[in-house]
């Protein structure tokens, strides 16, 4: 029997970089329907469109389709995020896309107006979920769960004015990890920061920094600066804008829009410029005003312990105690944090990226109690990865570098150089599928060989199984590697790297062949240089 | 250096069957809020709840949370379905959860009233997607895509009266595979049926049958029986209920509700009792009435070709030509199919399962053209897997058999028998995480050893790394397999199966240790009897 041929390594290395198709124009490609539909199949249905001459084919404002190219990038990033969550022992969970409107009201502070409500069609008043945290708290209270470490990946919806160019949409994906339960202080909180570091390092987005603060320090700061307690949350929401707005604009908002006394705003201004490591925590313990506030002292004590654990985790250098961090959402009660990328990679031809924070979270000890009939609290701490922004950064980077992705995983293409070979192709491809091999063929009775090979090249399929009259007569099939364009221009050696395998006529033997093919192809997946591996492993 | 110890095989086999927790009461666990919240952290927020004394903590009607137990089953089934779609060369895709209301209107026939509309909050009128097929057609038309093989897994929403006991919800997951493009007849159609067979065989749900018909045969049958053309879709929708309703009830609906002449209904009655293989196709070619109808003859011709390809794929015995199959949705234009489970496994203590069809689909050549301004058609054929019903069947079966699932994947637990070992535990667990090992520990400063071991037993963690004063002094760590309850009662031999590895003090050496651990744990995953494997592979 003929031995398996040897292919040059370059042929396989090149398989890793496949053709990238330009992203589709989903978001902007609005087309006006002129209702000139000529051949109406379903007359009654078409009538509806003819009656609406201005019907526009588009996705709703602030939303978009995800093309196969988007999906490949997403799948890769989500796999990394989820595997990190699982590494830390988290369980998966899901909640409905909408909740009772009452479940969501009064949880998000000033942002509540951005909620999508469902139409009252008789029955309950419903709203699309605004984040994954409130549904998690509702789940814990409803099921009386006192302890849980869970992750949740899902879509959420917010009626924001979309700035699509910076990767903000009205529908977007969130990846949350939370630890619920009464534990010794700062151990789960430190793990959340460790997870953020692992994910941001793993994604190789460049250097990053995680700002840390404590809601009690924020409130203590407000108190000692002279902010009236009724204005705490509103001022908190202003401070939260410091990463997007200059201090003078935030000050203006606080004084003019929110009625804060100018001297109070200036006192806050002195604090929010402070950031540093554990030494700043020590310094604030000595601060003449802040050290008089019980709440602030509790927060500082916890931060000191947190830094101790972060040092043991080897990530203290990634964390900065930053008094300007406030986090707008109402439900935080303790430690809060937000991760920022330090370098915005602006290379030639690349627009400067302004992506804001890529991960954030904090402690919310009161939220579950708000759902419990007796107010029983379940302390929680968690984080949310801003995957949409990460998708955007990675996609921009690939675009700049001209990186290509395959959108399918097909391993083998079934081809024929002859006419009237559809039956043989169908039999062969069914065997491949039944053996778990990813296979495709053209849906044509008599396709041209060139068309078939071109399909493999343009979609990045690495192998072709060829069956024709000669092969059928000799009882063999031909297996050929699809050379990359570079390979062909490099000398065209692949033309002779054809592999012959026995082609039995009985279905049982066909299956054996497919099994051999299968084990061979598994090698393809496990090793960049499959042919060397295969020769050692197979002797048919 | 001490060698790796040997563990009995049974210890590892037992790891495969883990504790199953009873499913949560999410769907029914409505709790009345008595607004007796005592300790209010965020007073302003709590006020809202106090003002609504009758606020009920629940998920919206017809929806439910998916607990970690549900998620594990789902992930397994979806993995199998998606890997089949990828095996056939499909690309992934996603569309927004809602569409412009106009996009969805007039596509679903009688069911349109079940759509969820969003509230008009100023802007576009939106509805939640009702299936994944219409958004796919909209995507193709909007982006002028003429050829595409894609899969789409996502939630859809229908305001049906939920029969929750049979696994029907108002929010549910669909798994769709579709082939768009102009190809030679019946080749993509046959592949769709092959995919349905591969998935249903792969899921091991018992024997199944796929009913096949053609919309043109249905319409031809209506025509030759004397149904007025204006009533075609309405009568189609009645016929579609034949798998749930007896013929006499369907006949009653057609005659009384839809105004069909009784003798016309009876003529239809004769046809819809026919089902069989390719021989029935031949028989219908000879049918004196049906053979006079051009449309019906086209449909029969295609079915004959389809059966030829199904024979080559080796699945013809799973397919039945069934004249009672009509498929209610308006958009089908050619071949239609629906897969039914043949055996409803009713064992002792198990409620009889009435799950209806578990997969369905067909050809819809006119739908894309409805979105195209010039009416350009893109022929499509596809299928949808009824995964919710499949989840339900698998969950019921596991419940009956008492099968247990782990909801986490944690490989190693970090424990200590001593007080004041938190720092060492944190250092050790960070090393494990950084080496990609799934690890957990208790968030307590000084947990009891028994509590720690009990946690491993109840969550199914197979290995414990133990560090205490003795280990620290000797420069070793202890690795212990967590014996299953059966193992302990069988003689407790595991007590001595402790493994000692060097415990270096420098971080660099710690990392080396973790790497060794890592390679060792990879063996745990690949082989049911890791210790035998390990001894051969490691010599430290």
Provide ipTM, 2 decimals. 0.80
E-state strands within A387-527: 412-415, 439-440, 463-466, 476-481, 498-502
- A 63-82 residues inside an 8 A Cβ radius of B: 63-68, 70-72, 75
Q: How far apart are CA B517 and CA B477, in angstroms?
A: 11
Q: How do residues A466-505 score in pLDDT, each as one tens digit?
A: 888 887 777 667 777 775 332 222 222 233 333 333 333 3
Output the CA–CA distances (angstroms, integers) from residue A18 to A56, A346, B351, B520, in the order listed: 35, 25, 52, 35
CA distance A292 to A301: 14
Cross-chain Cβ contact A55/B233 below 8 Å: no
d(CA B367, CA A46): 10
DSSP codes joined into one string, B153-204: EEEEE------GGGT--SEEEEEEEEEES--STTHHHHHHHHHHHHHHHHTT
Q: Where are any strands of DSSP class E within A425-528?
A: 439-440, 463-466, 476-481, 498-502
**Quick one: A77 exposed, middle or buried, by C-beta within 10 A (0-12, 13-18, 19+)?**
buried
Kindly identify which residue of chain A lies nearest to residue B201, measuring between CA atoms: A434
**Contacts A45 to B, Cβ<8 Å:** 106-107, 330-331, 370
What share of chain B has pLDDT > 70, as a percent? 75
Residue B153 banded pLDDT, cuts 50, 70, 90: very high
Task: Calculate mean pLDDT across residues B418-437.
Answer: 90
Average pLDDT over residues A146-156: 97
pLDDT in tens, A284-294: 999 999 999 99
A112 touching B, CB under 8 A? no
Is the CB of residue A258 less than 8 Å away from at least one CB of chain B?
no
Across chain A, mean pLDDT equals 78
Of A171, A372, A444, the CB nearest to B97: A171
What is residue B535's predicted lDDT score, i.e. its pLDDT? 20
Contact criterion met (CB < 8 Å) for B105 and A48 = yes
Q: How far is A64 from chain B (nearest CA, A)?
A: 6
Identify the burial level of A123 via C-beta atoms within 10 angstroms of its C-beta, where 0-12 means exposed, 13-18 middle and 19 or more buried. Answer: exposed
Q: Which DSSP category does A63 fall into?
A: -
pLDDT value of residue B24: 34
3-state DSSP assignment of residue A100:
strand
Q: A50, A65, A155: which to substitute to probe chain B, counting the most B Cβ within 10 Å?
A: A65
Tens of pLDDT, residue by residue over A409-434, are 998 899 999 999 999 999 989 988 98
Q: Which helix (H) or strand (E) holds B56?
A: strand B56-57
User: At a CB cut-off of 8 Å and minimum separation 6, what does B219 contact?
Assistant: B232, B295, B296
**Token code pair at residue A262:** 């100018």
Assess whether pLDDT exceeds 50 at residue A134: yes
Instruction: Give every CB contact of residue A244 below 8 A, 6+ residues apart in sequence.
Output: A356
pLDDT band at residue A344 under the 50/70/90 scheme: low
pLDDT above 50 for A540: no
Q: What are phi and psi of A244, to 5 degrees?
A: -110, -25
pLDDT per position as a tens digit, B37-51: 223 333 344 444 444
B205 CB-contact burial (10 Å; exposed 0-12 / middle 13-18 / buried 19+)? buried
- Shortest CA distance to B125 belongs to which of B133, B111, B115? B115
Q: How far apart are CA A186 and CA B332, in angstroms?
A: 59
């Amino acid at each position: 029997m003929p031995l398996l041929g040897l292919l040059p390594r370059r042929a396989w290395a090149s398989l890793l970089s496949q053709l990238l198709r330009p992203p589709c124009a989903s978001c902007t490609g609005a087309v006006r329907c002129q209702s000139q539909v000529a051949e109406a199949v379903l007359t009654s249905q078409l009538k509806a469109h003819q009656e609406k001459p201005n019907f526009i084919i588009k996705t709703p404002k602030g939303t978009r389709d995800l093309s196969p190219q988007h999906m490949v990038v997403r799948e890769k990033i989500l796999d990394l995020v989820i595997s990190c969550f699982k590494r830390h022992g988290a369980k998966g969970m899901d909640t409905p896309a909408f909740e009772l409107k009452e479940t969501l009201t009064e949880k998000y502070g000033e942002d509540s107006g951005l909620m999508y409500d469902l139409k009252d069609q008789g029955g309950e008043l419903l709203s699309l979920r605004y984040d994954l945290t409130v549904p998690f708290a509702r789940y814990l209270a409803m099921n009386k769960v006192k302890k849980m470490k869970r992750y949740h990946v899902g879509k959420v919806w917010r009626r924001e004015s979309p700035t699509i160019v910076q990767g903000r949409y009205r529908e977007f994906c969130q990846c949350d990890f939370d630890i619920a339960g009464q534990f010794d202080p700062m151990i789960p909180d430190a793990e959340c920061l460790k997870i953020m570091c692992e994910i941001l390092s793993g994604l190789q987005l460049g250097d990053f920094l995680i700002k840390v603060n404590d809601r009690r320090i924020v409130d203590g700061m407000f108190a000692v600066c002279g902010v009236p307690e009724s204005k705490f949350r509103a001022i908190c929401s202003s401070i939260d804008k410091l990463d997007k707005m200059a201090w003078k604009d935030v000050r203006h908002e606080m004084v003019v829009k929110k009625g804060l006394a100018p001297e109070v705003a200036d006192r806050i201004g002195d604090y929010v410029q402070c950031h540093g490591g554990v030494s700043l925590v020590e310094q604030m313990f000595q601060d003449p005003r802040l050290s008089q506030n019980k709440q602030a002292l509790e927060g500082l004590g916890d931060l000191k312990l947190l830094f101790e654990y972060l040092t043991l985790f080897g990530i203290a250098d990634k964390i900065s105690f930053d008094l300007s961090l406030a986090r707008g959402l109402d439900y935080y009660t303790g430690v809060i944090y937000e991760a920022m990328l330090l370098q915005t990679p602006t290379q030639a031809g690349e627009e400067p990226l302004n992506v804001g924070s890529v991960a954030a979270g904090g402690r919310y000890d009161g939220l579950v109690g708000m759902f419990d009939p007796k107010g029983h609290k379940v302390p929680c701490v968690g984080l949310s990865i801003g995957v949409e922004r990460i998708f955007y950064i990675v996609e921009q980077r690939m675009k700049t570098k001209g990186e290509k992705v395959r959108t399918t995983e097909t391993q083998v293409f079934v081809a024929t150089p002859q006419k009237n070979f559809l039956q043989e192709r169908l039999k062969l491809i069914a065997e491949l599928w039944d053996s778990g091999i990813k296979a495709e063929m053209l849906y044509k009775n008599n396709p041209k060989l060139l068309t078939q090979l071109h399909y493999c090249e343009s979609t990045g399929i690495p192998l072709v199984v060829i069956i024709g009259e000669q092969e059928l007569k000799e009882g063999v099939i031909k297996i050929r590697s699809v050379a990359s364009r570079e390979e062909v221009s490099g000398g065209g050696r692949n033309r002779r790297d054809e592999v012959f395998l026995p082609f039995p006529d009985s279905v049982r033997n066909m299956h054996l062949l497919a099994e051999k093919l299968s084990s061979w192809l598994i090698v393809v997946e496990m090793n960049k240089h499959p042919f060397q591996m295969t020769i050692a492993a197979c002797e048919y």
